[in-house]
Amino acid sequence: MRAIYVKLFFIVSVSSLLFANECKEISKELKKLQELKTVVEAKIAKNKKLLQEIKAQKKALQDLNATIEKQIAQIESQRFKKLAKDFESMDPEYAGEKLSKIEDPKIAAYILYNMNSRKAGEALNYVAPESLSKIVKILTQLKKHEKK
């Protein structure tokens, strides 16, 4: 019987040593995981902060872009008004001839749009027919857009 107790005592002792070693290893692994969790959480917080900064910069760039586009539109409008005054001062036949030679019909349409309507009508009498249809199409779109 004594031999059984000795064997049992030996098994229990060995088991408790193995269990103690496993507990230590588990404890070490748990500690490593907690450290990794802390590192990951810190990186997540840092990335969230960076994301907020990027979003703020994106918004600022969008605002700046809108401002620049508005200024460009304003400058173009002023340029077309100046061109319109120049065309108004021309002889209608000469103005019509020049408008016909402008490659982009949009530009000719914007010039006519900014001209005095009577003088623009006189100049349109002398615009080449193929250019006239394109210009008139653009002018009607401008008028529709103006009404809205």
Reported as a single tens digit per residue, the pLDDT across 4-56 is 666 666 666 656 656 666 777 878 888 998 999 999 999 999 999 999 999 99
130 within some domain:
yes
85 within some domain:
no
Task: Say what the pTM is.
Answer: 0.58
Range in 13-22, 27-36, 80-89, 92-101 with the lowest mean pLDDT: 13-22
Closest CA to 126 of 144, 138, 139, 108: 108
**What's the number of domains the chain is made of?**
2
Residue bearing the bigger pLDDT, 18 or 116? 116
Q: How confident is the model at residue 145 (pLDDT cuts 50, 70, 90)?
A: confident
102 CB-contact burial (10 Å; exposed 0-12 / middle 13-18 / buried 19+): middle
Domain that holds residue 48: 1-78
Q: What's the rounded Cα separation, in Å, for the pair 142 and 145?
A: 5
84 within some domain:
no
Q: Which of the listed residues 51, 78, 105 is the one where a domain comes to its end?
A: 78
